[in-house]
Amino acid sequence: MLALVFALLAAPPHSAAPRLRSRVAGWRGAHETTIVGELTTLLAVPNLASDSVNIRRNAALLVAMLERRGAKARLLELPGSPPAVYGELLTPGATRTVVFYAHYDGQPVDTGRWASRPWSPVVRDGPLTATARELPFPAEGGRFDPEWRIFARSASDDKAPIVAMLAALDALRSLGIRPSVNLKFFLEGEEEAGSRHLRDMLTRHAETLTADLWLFGDGPVHQSREPVVSFGVRGVMGVQLTVYGPARPLHSGHYGNWAPNPNVMLAHLLASMRDEEGRILIERFYDDVRPFSEEQRRALAAMPRVDEQLKGELKLGRTEGGDASLAEQVSRPALNVSGISGGRTGSAAANVIVPEANAYIDFRLVPDQRPERIRALLEAHLVKRGYHVVQEDPDSATRRAHPRIIKMTGDAGYPAMSTALDLPVSRAVIRAAEAALGRPIIVEPPLGGSLPLYEFQEVLGRPLIMVPIVNHDNNQHAENENLRIRNLWDGIELYAGLLARLGREWRGMVP
């Protein structure tokens, strides 16, 4: 029905991207409480992938939201999986089809650490500092200070992009402009739970999802608060390591210095794997790293340096990697020790030799590293350091038989994904985005973070480009996740411009 409405309207003006932007902004200014209201309604529904009742409440709400825009919408199902929400909005005359991806599930919450309840959205006058104030939501038709923030689980990651895209459609319709491409929606419901059913979902519904390009609305914009388009993500692999000491906790005075100390073993092991500058010391680790293309190198060098600003924000006196920029450091493979534990520290400390110590590591991988190969290299490193490697808790006989035992578990992980910068579609997206903004956009060869985007490329074989909108300082995955209002406004303008221009730029490209 919406398509019909567009068809009856005059074609949009030719140039005038900045003009479009200000017209979208004007429309938004008159609808701020409606837009934010749609977002907070969505945020109020708990969205753990494991909470099957509530996750379906989210999905049903999204179907209704899509249908309100005239999209044909339905759930894509797979046994044992949260549903994906699918929507389709065809534009008469459009020759290219774009799938917009976002996910509607969120990370687990540690409620005790939140300043307000994770699924009860509140607005505050800025980041959560000591002086931050909670404010009442403006009355209908009112305005938001763009520096205010909405606090709730998934405010940024990843419900805001969904609401931004729908608001962009509303804005275009209101301005009498129709999208330049056919638009499909694929809203995933278990991204934060590891996307276990994603491959099956894509395979089963491949025909439905046929398209020329996937646009990903996930992840943050640049730390300079400038918009960015990203052409890749790193892969990731989680590894849990457990080293063993005595079978029961021992008095450190009577047995320490004799019973092997797992905390010390773990310290030596971790130190052997990675230095304090980020260099990974596992043999052959860098063998499969694909060198950057000239265009990627140029894009990396052109990215604004935010290192000093961030060091101030994060109270850092140094960074890893010497003079290398943040952008360079997160485009390389990484070994992040996310967690260590063994016995207790602080006021709960006790003088014991503990039975085991644990470390959780996330490896970040770049093209063409494969998780299974990295796991094999890690295992070889452990063996070389005298460890007997097991996948299950060792039994007594195993513990007695080996001087050093390590349990290595974790997830299968996934490889990186990269879209070449010199594809016609890549150039079209960059040009359309720049037209939408009225100025250059930051081009990020890979995003530092990880998403299982290789699945899309492997299963569907289409290029994939990310158009994030949310603020970088959003406490994503942690307590007090938040969305800066201006990022929502900017996102609506970017998405509206992309929808209006992408088809035309694309047609103009020589393949």
Residue numbers 81-140 binding its own copies by CB under 8 A: 107
**Contact window for its own copies (CB under 8 A) among 2-10, 160-168, 325-333, 490-498:** 325-333
**Contact window for its own copies (CB under 8 A) among 66-74, 142-150, 296-304, 401-409:** 401-409
Please report whether residue 412 would count as binding its own copies according to CB under 8 A. Answer: no
- Classify burial at 31, counting beta carbons within 10 Å of its beta carbon; exposed 0-12, middle 13-18, buried 19 or more: middle
Asked if 166 and 83 touch (Cβ cutoff 8 Å), the reply is no
User: Beta-strand (E) ranges in 401-475?
Assistant: 405-410, 417-418, 442-444, 447-450, 464-466
Q: How far is the CB of 174 from its own copies (least distance, A)?
A: 35
Q: How far is the CB of 301 from its own copies (least distance, A)?
A: 16
d(CA 204, CA 358): 39
With CB under 8 A as the rule, give the number of residues binding its own copies.
Answer: 95
Q: Which of 15, 129, 131, 338 binds its own copies (CB under 8 A)?
A: 338
- DSSP string covering 182-230, please? EEEEEEES-TTTT-TTHHHHHHHTTTTT--SEEEE--SB--TTS--EEE
**Contact window for its own copies (CB under 8 A) among 29-37, 40-48, 315-323, 427-435:** 315-323
CB of 337 or CB of 460, closer to its own copies: 337
Looking from the CA of 106 toward its CB, the CA atoms found within 13 Å total 30
CB of 5 or CB of 350, closer to its own copies: 350
Q: How far is the CB of 418 from its own copies (least distance, A)?
A: 15
Task: Report CA Rg, the chain.
Answer: 25
Q: Which of 116, 208, 293, 336 binds its own copies (CB under 8 A)?
A: 336
Q: Which of 294, 313, 372, 393 binds its own copies (CB under 8 A)?
A: 313
Asked if 468 and 230 touch (Cβ cutoff 8 Å), the reply is yes
Tokens of 200: 């099956």
Q: How far is the CB of 325 from its own copies (least distance, A)?
A: 8
Q: Which of 199, 402, 486, 504 binds its own copies (CB under 8 A)?
A: 402
Q: Which of 265, 374, 466, 496 binds its own copies (CB under 8 A)?
A: 265
Tokens of 338: 């996310």
- Of residues 224-263, those binding its own copies (CB under 8 A): 234, 236, 238, 240, 245-261, 263
CB of 362 or CB of 434, closer to its own copies: 362
d(CA 115, CA 165): 29
Say which residue the tokens 């403006």 belong to: 138
- Of residues 444-503, those binding its own copies (CB under 8 A): 447-450, 472, 475-478
Asked if 433 and 230 touch (Cβ cutoff 8 Å), the reply is no
- Of residues 158-217, those binding its own copies (CB under 8 A): none
**Contact window for its own copies (CB under 8 A) among 80-88, 90-98, 162-170, 266-274:** 266-274
What type of residue is 475? N
